[in-house]
Every structure is written in C-alpha cells, then in structure tokens.
C-alpha cells in the first residue's frame, strides 16, 4: 500500500468485512444450534427417517460454511493486526508486492496471485 489514505481505506474495508463475518458466524451458530436442538427433540434417527439424511446433510452444510466463515474471520483479524506493519502487502512466499487489485478483492490476502496459484495446484 502506498500511503496512509490507502491504509485507512483498507482498514475500513477490513473492519466492514470483519463485522460482516462476525454477524455471519453468529447467525450460522444460531442456525446450527436450532437444527441440533430440533434433531435432539425428534425421536427418529437420521438413518431410518426418510428425511433424516436430508436434515443431517443440511446440518453438515451449515457446519462447513460456519468453519469457512470462521477461517475468513481469523484471516481478517490477522490482516487488521498486520495493517501498517512494514511487511503488509508483501507476499509471504516470494516477498513481492501483492497487486492492489488482489488486495482490493481480498484485503486479507497474504500471497500474490502467482504464489496463491501454486498452492492450489
């Protein structure tokens, strides 16, 4: 990032993303707790109930999304902690600057596009 105005703009984006993630985690936790409570109150088991496999699958989906949002929140927290530090905006793997477009799209990014692509392969 090139200057304080950029850091301020990025901080606002990160904080908004963080607030959104916190709200999403809370909503997903409520949804999962409600689904688990409903399952506990029911007498049918997932294996023999015709709807059981569907409800079990839905609970697994909510739990998976919750894990993803929690990971994103952790990444956002880390980005906010690193913002303004000398290495912020530099790729953790190769040391080159992370493109402004990548930081605009994923302000919590810790790698450049090239290194991120290598990790996925």
Owner of token pair 């290495």 = 87
63 or 7: whose pLDDT is higher?
63
Q: Can you read off the two tokens belonging to residue 51? A: 């709807």
- Positive or negative, the CA dihedral 10, 16, 20, 21 is positive
Q: For the segment 54-83, what is each residue's pLDDT rounded down to a tens digit?
A: 778 889 999 999 999 999 999 999 999 999
Helix, strand, coil distribution of the chain in percent, nearest 5 = 70, 0, 30
Domain residue spans of the chain = 4-85, 89-121
Look at residue 20 in the predicted model and tell me its pLDDT. Answer: 97
Phi, psi of 90 (to 5 degrees): -110, 140
- Residue of 92, 94, 54, 97 lying closest to 75 (CA atoms): 92
Q: Is the pLDDT of residue 4 over 50?
A: no
* CA–CA gap between residue 21 and residue 113 (Å, rounded): 23
Interacting residues of 19 by C-beta distance below 8 A, sequence separation 6+: none
Residue 9 DSSP SS3: helix
What is the percent of the chain with per-residue pLDDT over 70, rounded to a whole number?
Answer: 83
Whole-structure pTM value: 0.76
Q: For the segment 108-121, what is each residue's pLDDT rounded down to a tens digit?
A: 999 999 999 886 65
């Amino acid at each position: 990032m090139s200057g304080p105005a950029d850091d301020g703009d990025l901080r606002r984006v990160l904080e908004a993303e963080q607030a959104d993630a916190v709200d999403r985690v809370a909503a997903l936790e409520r949804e999962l707790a409600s689904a688990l409570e409903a399952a506990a109150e029911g007498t049918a088991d997932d294996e023999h109930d015709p709807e059981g496999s569907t409800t079990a699958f839905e609970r697994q989906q909510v739990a998976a999304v919750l894990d993803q949002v929690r990971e994103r929140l952790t990444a956002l927290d880390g980005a906010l902690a690193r913002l303004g530090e000398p290495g912020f905006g530099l790729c953790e793997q190769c040391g080159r600057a992370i493109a402004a477009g990548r930081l605009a799209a994923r302000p919590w990014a810790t790698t450049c596009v090239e290194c991120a692509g290598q990790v996925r392969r």
